[in-house]
Amino acid sequence: MLKKVPHTYVIIFAIILLAAVLTWFIPGGEFDRETVSVNGTDREIIVNNSFHFVESQAQTWQVFSALFKGFVNTANIIAFIILIGGAFWIMNFSKAIDVGIYSFLRMTGKFERNKAVRYLGVNNIIITFIMLLFSIFGAVFGMSEETIAFIIIFVPLSISMGYDSIVGVSMVFVAAGLGFAGALLNPFTIGIAQGLSNIPLFSGIEYRLFCWIVINFVGMFFVLRYAVRVKKDPKRSPVYEADAYWRDQRQIDIESVQSKPGISAWVVYVLLSAVLIFIAVQNPITDMQIGNQIYSWPGLPVLAGLFTLGGLLSLRKSVHFFVLHLLAMTMFYLIVGVMGYGWDVMEIASLFFAMGLFSGITMNYAPNKITKLFIEGSKDILGAAMVVGLAGGIIVILNEGKIIDTILYGVSKAMSDAGRLTSVGVMYVFQTMLNVVIPSGSGKAALTMPMMSQFSDLIGLSRQATVMAFQFGDGFTNMITPTSGVLIGVLGVAKIPYDRWVKWVTPLIIILIIIGFLLLIPTVTMNLNGF
């Protein structure tokens, strides 16, 4: 029995070696393929009943060249991940999100005079709002590692509200996990998985929105039910003794990070306003595709107006509110760009890079400091980028060994009688189990989607359904897998023993896994937009 779980890199390289060994025993085979246009996107598909055996190409020393080729083949995705990681690091360093959340909490205290609010409970509303906020962050840009920094804020807040550290972790980490599993625009999971499956970026968003609502409702209900129980009797908490550390601590003073905007912030505001207005004048109408419908509206002029007005109001309050405004407008432009102008990974990465750069300038950081922060953020996310490249080497070995089509053919034959619903369920279980050893969503996408998407073609299953099986399988167990550095980091900061966390979160994970399977059924049985 292993005393220590192998590093993700070790696991992937071991799989590369296993793939090379398989090329010596599995006969070579190929499908004929053709390129077709699907919803405006060129897709290479397998020609039905075209499988034929070919000469095997056993792999040996190629395991080393496969690593290089894997990085080359996934270079766009790797660059995408690194740029976004660096950009968000700059923005997070500003503490703007911290300021925004605490300002909201102060504001909610004024609503206690309202009878309806008192009935619902101000604390319940606060927990729900914060969870919703972080769920959106998880669903839109895949907030994960960033949650560790917020634990130091929300755990003491939870304790001061009469709850425990588990509720504090739930408001941030669990909420982000719920959003991550029900991802809407997450470039690290949905974006990469759909890109590798050659389907339109962020397509099928209508049904994923429904899934996100269901997942969040179940998760929030579970947390709120637990919070009420702990509020009534704090000693019923499994971490009551461990929380003594937090009960002895002072509440964090967020006022110390607030500051008035400097000249640099106003320069950024004027410059961006002018550029966005100019772009809006050049593009007065945006045709946005939602499902099979196209809606024409003045998208860019509206966004330019929102930026100009919102930017002025936020600058009058605080420089941190202006950074928050930059983040919000980045998300709005992302949505309009993807749905209205067909943006892909290059455009999205450029957008987030600009956000990070202007956030740093707004905070009056020197060029060297912005560069240093960007490098630190890139280093922090480099592990995920490396996994993508390494995982790409597996596909290289399978392709050059001429066995990937043979495997697809064999699996499709074995499952031909199982039916599409059973097949998508098997994919879901496989992705869920794989997440225990490879917690990187980007890595699992690179590892599994090229094969899974083609397998779905063979059995008549929508590639979008395959992406959703990956999405759910990647998301739920992130909250419990011991190989997740984020989870271990979160629990370490919160002072929550892993065994007590597992005891608390396991019922939620089981419920979510069942809900996930139920949500996959319509992807097979119904005619959904984007599927």
Q: How confident is the model at residue 249 (pLDDT cuts 50, 70, 90)?
A: low
The residue among 174, 52, 18, 98 whose CA lies nearest residue 490 is 174
Round to whole Å and give the CA distance between 381 and 62. 28
Whether 165 shows a pLDDT value over 70: the answer reads: yes
Position 368 scores a pLDDT of 95
Round to whole Å and give the CA distance between 90 and 150. 16
Whether 292 shows a pLDDT value over 50: the answer reads: no
- Least confident piece of the model among 179-193, 206-220, 468-482: 179-193
Whether 442 shows a pLDDT value over 70: the answer reads: no
Mean pLDDT of 378-401: 79
The DSSP element (H or E) to which 200 belongs, if any, is: none
CA 44 vs. chain centroid, Å, equals: 26
Whether 356 shows a pLDDT value over 50: the answer reads: yes
Position 39 scores a pLDDT of 45
Round to whole Å and give the CA distance between 134 and 227. 18
Bridge partners (DSSP) of residue 290 are 293
Position 361 scores a pLDDT of 95
Residues whose CB is less than 8 angstroms from the CB of residue 339 and which lie 6 or more positions away in sequence, other chains included: 202, 288, 289, 290
Position 275 scores a pLDDT of 96
Position 120 scores a pLDDT of 67
Structure tokens at 325: 């405004």
Q: What are phi and psi of 27, to 5 degrees?
A: -65, 145
Residues whose CB is less than 8 angstroms from the CB of residue 511 and which lie 6 or more positions away in sequence, other chains included: 218, 222
Give the model confidence (pLDDT) of 90-145 as tens digits.
Answer: 887 887 766 766 676 677 667 766 766 666 677 888 899 889 988 988 887 677 76
Mean pLDDT of 470-478: 84
Are 176 and 135 within 8 A, CB to CB? yes
Round to whole Å and give the CA distance between 136 and 128. 12
Position 336 scores a pLDDT of 84
Round to whole Å and give the CA distance between 428 and 517. 8
Using DSSP's 3-state secondary structure scheme, residue 227 falls into helix
Whether 383 shows a pLDDT value over 80: the answer reads: no
- Least confident piece of the model among 170-179, 295-304, 464-473: 464-473
Mean pLDDT of 504-522: 92
Mean pLDDT of 362-368: 93
Give the model confidence (pLDDT) of 303-332 as tens digits.
Answer: 999 999 999 999 988 898 899 899 889 878
- Least confident piece of the model among 156-165, 177-186, 250-259, 309-318: 250-259
Amino acid at 32: D
Q: What residue spans define the domains of the chain?
A: 263-371
- By percentage, how much of the chain surpasses pLDDT 90? 24
Whether 497 shows a pLDDT value over 80: the answer reads: yes
Whether 265 shows a pLDDT value over 60: the answer reads: yes
Position 303 scores a pLDDT of 96
Are 216 and 519 within 8 A, CB to CB? no
